[in-house]
Structure 1
Amino acid sequence: MSRTMEWAARADHLNGIPRKFVIATIGSFAKSVASLINTTAVHNADTLLRLVRSRPQGVPLITVSNHMSTLDDPVMWGFKGFPIFDTKIARWVLAAEDICFKNPLYSYVFRTGKCIPITRGGGIYQEHMNEALERLNNGEWLHTFPEGKVYQDDAPIRRLKWGTASLIVRAPITPTVLPIIHDGFHEVMPEKYMFGRRPPLPLCNKKINMIIGDPIEFDLQAMSEMAIAQSRNDSFPTIGWPRTSSGLDEAAQRYLYTTISDKIRAAMEKLRCYGKSFLKS
């Protein structure tokens, strides 16, 4: 399976000029929406800024968040003080292929903007997940929305898809995983505004809140050993996944990805509850 416009996603494509232009344009849009026509408050921003700017050499970063609107990325990075115009440290993000890559123009813009197309329902071993893994192998920053779709209701974090967990396990250097919870994007870009559609432009005079958590720690060796032991007693339907580089078969992978996803979900839900009490105080 070929990768969609992979050449446009390269840093040296046309000497990096298209990437700089797209990042600058989208960054200006994000700053305007987050900090000019709306107000954004961020709790614990220093943790995110430190990990984005100066984490250990070669260590990848995965940020995970809830997904409240089609504007979450990039507007969530538009708060004051965030270096959104720096193309070198800018995030890669997993983006829905059926929305962001509908035609060649969209594909080119999103590709130069460091987006990786993901086919929803395509599985964790689809070709573009391998591309995401390569970005992590290079020590870069990847953002994911592990719930897998937009949810605008005030409800607990849903069961997470396994894609993020699989990247954590398959990466040669275990990524730093940082949970983020935000609120307010459902008012900036409601899914059903006029005639059951989104508004043509972001709405203004809204309040966006972001709660940055602390990195989630994973003892992958101990968790893998537990997965191997537990999966021997459980029956999972198999679809032919390859073994991981550490030798985990499909049954062990499924158990491990579930365990990791549950841990991430618990951290996100804790942040969500903290955010609700924090905003009321």
Structure 2
Amino acid sequence: MRPEEQPEAPSAPWRAASAFTMGAVGLLCKGFLTGLSRVETHGMEGFLKLLDEREKVAERERGLITVSNHISVMDDPILWGLLPLSYMFNPDNLRWGLGSYDLCFTNKGLSTFFSFGQVLPTHRTAYSQHGGLFQPTVTQAIRLLSRGPFPSANELPEKAATSLKSPDVIDPFSGGHLTFTTDGHDTFPAPSAYLSRRHSWVHIFPEGMIHQSEDRIMRYFKWGVSRLILESEPMPDIVPIFIEGFDDIMHETRTFPRFIPRPFKNVRVTFGEKLDAEQVFGDLRDRWKQIRAREEKKGGPLEVGVVNDTLKYSEEAVSLRKECTKRMRQAVLDVRRQRGYPEDDPKNSLASTWLREGGGDREGQKADGSITKDT
């Protein structure tokens, strides 16, 4: 897509529906937190200042990534009920999230609701052959964090399904070239196609599943977060967050009615300071750019968010993702330590630890007493 062809924003009806959806959900979450919960926040003033600096899209110079632990099925959206009312009806300055395809996008009604709510359809490898950190949705997230413009062609997974047919969700007032597909058959709006979405805010739970533990320890982080950090252009701002108490609101041992959040619980959210991202990740991004430049010299330019096999699977690329993910997890652990928790056991950062101590089951109570749940 040439710069002169990139539209400014989705259609007015789409923007209105998105603002209503984001605002209504935000109001419900805010009402629950302020009226039915006991809330304690730390560092929120600095985070709101950052959002204020990003209010005018045209003046943004980089995207924003927020990263937190994941302790309940309702972390998002209840977490964002902390925001003041004045922020809740401005989708251009609210988060984009990654939602499970097999939970949030199973029919056209749900797909439309979550699309209005700025949630990207994300396949989980345990439930879909289209999952993993190289799926088209991750490309969309990288481009939301970047400036653009971007090409209009759909990003197809390497192995497109031949029989799967999923509900299409498009903006009926926009052209079909403003869409992308996650499996070769479905159709979703491509948010990165619009100028108003450049340098957006993306929130991610790198643990990839709920983990409830009395000691508030975290599972290992998955590598998808490293792609957002290494490949977005320019380097995004990054804010680590540590949340507590949402597991009491929606504990996995809760009984009927399971779908209702439990009131009168203590909630604590700590916003870390914006990282000096260049200091923390700059060396890794420099090495990534060197690898990418070599590949482009051999095979031609690669669009933002697009990687070839070498950039996917080479030992050097994999080691960069591992180290980047490790540093991101440590940044969240640093915020956790501010709340008085002890140093993390290094083995908790290893996938092998959780496989060994938790057994082969992905969900349920583990040997250490913690509970995991796919979400």
- TM interval, short-chain normalised: 0.7 to 0.9
Q: Is the 8 A contact 1:181 1:212 kept in 2?
A: yes
Q: Give how far 1:224 is off.
A: 4.8
Find 1:72's aligned residue among 71, 75, 79. Answer: 75
- CA separation of 1:189 and 1:61: change in aligned 2, threshold 3 A: same
Q: Is the 8 A contact 1:52 1:141 kept in 2?
A: no
Residue 99 (str. 1) matches residue 163 (str. 2): no
C-alpha distance in 2, partners of 1:99/1:248?
27
- CA separation of 1:152 and 1:249: change in aligned 2, threshold 3 A: closer
Opposite residue 210 of structure 2, the aligned amino acid is V
- CA separation of 1:173 and 1:85: change in aligned 2, threshold 3 A: same
Alignment of 1:210-221 (within 5 A): 210-216=269-275, 217-219=277-279, 220-221=281-282
C-alpha distance in 2, partners of 1:248/1:190?
37
C-alpha distance in 2, partners of 1:153/1:248?
33
Q: Give how far 1:84 is off.
A: 2.5
Alignment of 1:8-87 (within 5 A): 11-12=10-11, 14-55=13-54, 57-79=60-82, 81=84, 83-87=87-91
C-alpha distance in 1, partners of 2:52/2:37?
26
C-alpha distance in 1, partners of 2:72/2:107?
21
C-alpha distance in 1, partners of 2:282/2:37?
45
Give the number of equivalent residue pairs: 254
Q: Give how far 1:97 is off.
A: 1.3
Opposite residue 163 of structure 1, the aligned amino acid is G
How much identity, in percent, do the aligned residues show? 26
Find 1:136's aligned residue among 113, 133, 145. Answer: 145
Opposite residue 45 of structure 2, the aligned amino acid is D
Q: Give how far 1:28 is off.
A: 1.2
Alignment of 1:133-172 (within 5 A): 133-137=142-146, 138-154=198-214, 155-172=216-233
Q: Give how far 1:277 is off.
A: 5.3
C-alpha distance in 2, partners of 1:111/1:11?
12
- CA separation of 1:117 and 1:13: change in aligned 2, threshold 3 A: farther
1:187 equivalent in structure 2: 248
Q: Give how far 1:199 is off.
A: 2.1
Q: 3-state DSSP class of the match of 1:46?
A: helix
C-alpha distance in 1, partners of 2:12/2:340?
44
- CA separation of 1:85 and 1:36: change in aligned 2, threshold 3 A: farther
2:324 equivalent in structure 1: 260
Runs of 4+ with deviation above 4 angstroms: 224-229
1:269 equivalent in structure 2: 333
2:185 equivalent in structure 1: none
Q: 3-state DSSP class of the match of 2:133?
A: coil
Tell me how large the CA RMSD over aligned residues is.
2.5
C-alpha distance in 2, partners of 1:38/1:11?
36
C-alpha distance in 2, partners of 1:61/1:214?
13
